[in-house]
């Protein structure tokens, strides 16, 4: 069948102005060409189609086209329709003030917080997406349950119980659009409950602190030492945000005595622990540290995400909620329409239940461990005064620097075309813990082909 303008779906937005319809249309088309909105070579709809869209006589459009062809703005050829004429375009006038030249992107990236995106399992994910969409009931494409798809909640309940020691009921799992979305939701609920502040760790992410501030909560940092965050004195605290399995960015697990202390505090006072389990799957030289939620599901919210295990762009996270909090969170999520993409939910559910998720995590764990080992070996050879800590798990390491050198090392790395964060970037502004000079190196971030170059650039920048 021949392609017609109707089947091609060509639309043209034009608003005739002025007293006469023909003149107004001609002027509007001329200005659209003159301003560049209709670029040279653009095909215009047939006069009949445009006349129908505008509610005018066909001859009016044909006459307007004819006027603009005569003026040289348009061309018309038999069999080719009407097009915007090719013409030279005057260069834009110089700006009053020159634009500031943008700095080039760094050649290498060791900023923590992102996995190797080049290793995303595209083929396996696509297969899971096809299976999930084929099997999905029609009602899955509707607005659905504010908690998220039951297929994913059931899959996560099984996986988190098996792999992270979480006591998860699918009815109390809420799917959200990543960790930040979940933390914002919890912050809003806590503010409704009358909380004014939330205890946090001395080191963490300012993005998370800012989200809580926007919810109306102040963040008060707890002390930190070689045993991790000090949870022994929680006087006046009603809720706390922790990374107990692998403290970010320091990399240490919360000491068992302090795990027991924070759980005991929550039970005595009715307090709430928000557990950020951001990279619990990745461990190398030690047994995995189970989720804190497994010790007390009634007082711990378990927050997880696919951002480190798969990719941040999926925007998939989850909350495992205590019974006392579940109804409030679900209600608020439903009120605000905080929806999460259903097709990706269905795909992740299939990815987990088929075993593809476990296979991907195991392969990624081996790849990241090799990188970690290469980092440690390179430091021993090329920068022996720099000591790596927090390396038993995760996707980043903390490189302890000589006192007073952090800023100069970060600048030297930039000269090498390397993006890397200093530890001071992750220190809470109100922390009482003495500052220390260090780098936070995300060795999981670069793609495989860039890893050796990034490591070499890092070593050149170190003292």
Q: Which tens digit of pLDDT belongs to each residue from 115-134? A: 999 999 999 999 999 999 99
Bigger pLDDT: 16 vs 150 = 150
Categorize the per-residue pLDDT at 93 as very low, low, confident or very high, splitting at 50, 70 and 90: low
Question: To the nearest whole percent, how much of the chain has pLDDT over 90?
Answer: 75
Domain end call among 355, 372, 392 = 355
Instruction: State yes or no: pLDDT of 431 exceeds 90.
Output: yes
The answer to the question of residue 41 being in a domain is: yes
Tell me: do 351 and 387 sit in the same domain. no
Rounded Cα distance, 444 and 368, in Å:
6
Tell me: do 272 and 329 sit in the same domain. yes
The answer to the question of residue 38 being in a domain is: yes
Tell me: do 350 and 227 sit in the same domain. yes
Instruction: State yes or no: pLDDT of 98 exceeds 50.
Output: no
CATH of the domain at 384: 3.90.1150.10
Number of domains comprising the chain: 3
pLDDT tens digits, 225-265:
989 999 998 999 999 999 999 999 999 999 999 999 999 99
Q: Give the model's pLDDT for residue 459.
A: 97
Tell me: do 336 and 369 sit in the same domain. no
Categorize the per-residue pLDDT at 457 as very low, low, confident or very high, splitting at 50, 70 and 90: very high
Q: Give the model's pLDDT for residue 413.
A: 96
The answer to the question of residue 168 being in a domain is: yes
Instruction: State yes or no: pLDDT of 411 exceeds 90.
Output: yes
Domain end call among 323, 355, 387 = 355
The answer to the question of residue 317 being in a domain is: yes
Tell me: do 405 and 457 sit in the same domain. yes
Tell me: do 189 and 314 sit in the same domain. yes
Q: Give the model's pLDDT for residue 41.
A: 87
The answer to the question of residue 97 being in a domain is: no
Q: Give the model's pLDDT for residue 101.
A: 38
Rounded Cα distance, 83 and 111, in Å:
50
Q: Give the model's pLDDT for residue 104.
A: 67
- Averaged over 36-42, what is the pLDDT? 88
Q: Give the model's pLDDT for residue 94.
A: 53
pTM over 0.85: no
Q: Give the model's pLDDT for residue 19.
A: 67
Q: Give the model's pLDDT for residue 12.
A: 79
- Averaged over 15-39, what is the pLDDT? 85
Tell me: do 383 and 340 sit in the same domain. no
pLDDT tens digits, 331-369:
999 887 667 899 999 999 999 999 999 999 999 999 999
Tell me: do 418 and 434 sit in the same domain. yes
Tell me: do 145 and 267 sit in the same domain. yes
The answer to the question of residue 96 being in a domain is: no
CATH of the domain at 193: 3.40.640.10
Tell me: do 162 and 229 sit in the same domain. yes
Q: Give the model's pLDDT for residue 134.
A: 96
Between the alpha carbon of residue 104 and those of residues 108, 112, 382, 417, 418, the distances in Å are 12, 20, 28, 9, 11
Q: Give the model's pLDDT for residue 338.
A: 64
CATH of the domain at 79: 1.10.10.10
The answer to the question of residue 90 being in a domain is: no
Its domain, for residue 440, covers 108-113+359-461
Q: Which of 16-20, 32-36, 237-241 bottoms out in mean pLDDT, i.e. has the lowest?
A: 16-20
Instruction: State yes or no: pLDDT of 446 exceeds 90.
Output: yes
Tell me: do 333 and 393 sit in the same domain. no
Q: Give the model's pLDDT for residue 2.
A: 39
Categorize the per-residue pLDDT at 421 as very low, low, confident or very high, splitting at 50, 70 and 90: very high
Tell me: do 262 and 174 sit in the same domain. yes
HEC readout, the chain: CCCCHHHHCCCCCCCCCCCCHHHHHHHHHHHHHHCCCCCCCCECCCHHHHHHHHCCCHHHHHHHHHHHHHHCCEEEECCCEEEECCCCCCCCCCCCCCCCCCCCCCCEECCCCCCCHHHCCHHHHHHHHHHHHHHCCHHHHCCCCCCCCHHHHHHHHHHHHHHHCCCCCHHHEEEECCHHHHHHHHHHHHHHCCCCEEEECCECCHHHHHHHHHCCCEEEECCEECCEECCCCCCCCCEEEECCCCCCCCCCCCCHHHHHHHHHHHHHHCCEEEEECCCCCCECCCCCCCCHHHHCCCCEEEEEECCCCCCHHHCCEEEECCHHHHHHHHHHHHHHCCCCCHHHHHHHHHHHHCCHHHHHHHHHHHHHHHHHHHHHHHHHHHCCCCEEECCCECCCEEEECCCCCHHHHHHHHHHCCEECEEHHHHECCCCCCCCCCEEEECCCCCCHHHHHHHHHHHHHHCC
Average pLDDT, the chain: 91
pLDDT tens digits, 259-307:
999 999 999 999 999 999 999 889 998 777 899 999 999 999 999 999 9
């Amino acid at each position: 069948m021949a392609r017609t303008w109707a089947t091609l779906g060509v639309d043209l937005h034009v608003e005739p102005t002025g007293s006469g319809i023909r003149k107004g249309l001609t002027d509007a088309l001329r200005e659209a060409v003159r301003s560049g909105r209709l670029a040279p070579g653009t095909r215009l709809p047939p006069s009949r189609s445009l006349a129908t869209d505008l509610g005018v006589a066909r001859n009016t459009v044909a006459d307007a086209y004819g006027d603009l062809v005569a003026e040289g703005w348009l061309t018309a050829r038999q069999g080719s329709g009407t097009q915007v004429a090719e013409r030279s375009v005057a260069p834009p006038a110089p700006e009053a003030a020159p634009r500031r030249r943008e700095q080039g992107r760094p050649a290498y990236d060791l900023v923590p917080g992102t996995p190797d995106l080049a290793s995303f399992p595209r083929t396996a994910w696509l297969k899971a997406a096809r299976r999930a969409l084929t099997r999905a009931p029609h009602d899955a494409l509707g607005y659905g349950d504010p908690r998220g798809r039951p297929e994913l909640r059931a899959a996560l309940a099984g996986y988190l119980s098996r792999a992270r020691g979480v006591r998860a009921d699918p009815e109390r799992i809420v799917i959200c659009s990543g960790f930040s979305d979940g933390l914002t939701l919890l912050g809003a609920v806590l503010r409704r409950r009358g909380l004014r502040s939330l205890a946090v760790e001395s080191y963490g992410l300012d993005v998370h602190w800012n989200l809580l501030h926007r919810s109306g909560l102040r963040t008060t940092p707890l002390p930190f030492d070689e045993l991790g965050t000090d949870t022994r004195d929680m006087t006046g605290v009603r809720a706390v945000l922790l990374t107990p399995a692998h403290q970010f960015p320091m990399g240490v697990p919360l000491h068992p005595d302090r795990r027991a202390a924070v759980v005991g505090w929550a039970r005595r006072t009715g307090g709430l622990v928000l557990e950020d389990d951001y990279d619990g799957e990745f461990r190398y030289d030690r047994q995995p540290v189970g989720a804190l939620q497994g010790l007390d599901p009634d007082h711990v919210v378990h927050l997880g995400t696919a951002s480190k295990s798969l990719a941040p762009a999926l925007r998939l996270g989850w909350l495992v909620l205590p019974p006392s909090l579940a109804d409030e969170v679900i209600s608020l999520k439903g009120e605000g329409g905080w929806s999460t993409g259903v097709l990706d939910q269905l795909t992740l559910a299939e990815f987990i239940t088929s075993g593809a998720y476990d296979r991907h995590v195991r392969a990624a764990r081996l790849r990241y461990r090799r990188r970690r080992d290469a980092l440690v070996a390179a430091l021993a050879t090329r920068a022996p005064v720099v000591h790596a800590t927090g390396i038993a798990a995760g996707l980043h390491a903390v490189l302890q620097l000589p006192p007073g050198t952090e800023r100069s090392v970060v600048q030297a790395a930039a000269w090498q075309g390397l993006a890397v964060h200093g530890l001071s970037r992750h220190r809470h502004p109100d922390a009482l813990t003495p500052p220390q000079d260090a780098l936070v190196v995300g060795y999981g971030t670069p793609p495989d082909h860039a890893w050796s170059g990034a490591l070499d650039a890092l070593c050149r920048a170190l003292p």
